[in-house]
Amino acid sequence: MPDDSLAQLQRGLLDLDMEAALAAVHNVIAGGNQARVKEAVDVVTRSLEVVGKRFQDGEWYLAELVYAGEIAKDVMNALSPLMQSGGSPSRGTLVIGTVAGDLHDLGKNIVVNFARSAGFAVVDLGVDVSAQKFAAAVREHGPAVLGMSCLLTSTESQLAGVIDALKTQGLRDKLKVVIGGAALSERAARDVGADAFAPDAVTGVDMMKKWSAPA
């Protein structure tokens, strides 16, 4: 019988059927195939794009957006241990968080998992992280890279605030800063003084690997 777990996962997310989504993801996990785990993450990402579109078009309301987010979170939590089985040597530290005022963390959590698999020690500050908290973590952990996630246009200005705080405390020149999230672009990276914008987790972690490669 063909395995339709990924199609079922997509249906679970788009029909707001938590049980179906979790059953599907457990099938994927039981298969123990790393490539399928990556595909499942892609299905979640693509499904959430559809969710966002439905919300934007007024087809879905906030309650549906929230519930789709909860399903995605439970699915990603289930997949997360399998995304970390890299065991590569340490490449240094990544400090990462979602900026103040923004509670979106699904994308950031994917970056965290990919970076850990790639051998980074990750300090995850969570969501709604103030500029002072970012700067304090940079001072404490001395990371090679600072990653910031931002999905809301209204919180974009927080990015510049963090970079200003780093500059004021003499920390900016000691690390690379990469930003990501639906609200951003390469232009935003230039505007706020980040080193780069990453459109997705794979690109972001590839950049981090290049930055931390021995000269």
Interface with ligand B12 (CB under 6 A) = 45, 48-49, 51-52, 55-56, 62, 65-66, 69, 73, 96, 101-108, 110-111, 147-149, 151-154, 178, 180-183, 198, 200-201, 204
State the nearest-atom distance from the C-beta of 162 to ligand B12, in Å. Answer: 12
State the nearest-atom distance from the C-beta of 2 to ligand B12, in Å.
27
Our CB check for ligand B12 shows the closer of 171 and 177 to be 177
Cα 40 to Cα 25: distance, rounded to the nearest angstrom = 7
Closer residue to ligand B12, CB minimum distance, 52 or 119: 52
Q: Which two tokens stand for residue 195?
A: 């080193």
Nearest-approach distance from CB 150 to ligand B12, in angstroms: 7
Residue in the shown chain whose Cβ atom is closest to ligand B12: 107
Closer by beta carbon to ligand B12, 36 or else 209: 209
Please, which residue, 91 or 108, has the CB nearer to ligand B12? 108
Minimal distance, residue 34 CB to ligand B12, in Å: 17
> Can you read off the two tokens belonging to residue 122?
């990750």
Task: Name the minimum Å distance from CB 5 to ligand B12.
Answer: 19
Q: Of 181, 126, 178, give the one whose Cα is nearest residue 150.
A: 181
Nearest to 44 by CA among 6, 15, 80: 6
- Which residue reads 């672009």 in tokens? 185
Q: Helix 62-79 and helix 34-56: axis angle, to 10°?
A: 170
94 bridge partner residues: 122, 145
Our CB check for ligand B12 shows the closer of 161 and 180 to be 180
| Parallel/antiparallel/unpaired status of strands 93-98 and 196-198 | unpaired
Of 206, 149, 146, nearest in space to 182 by CA: 149
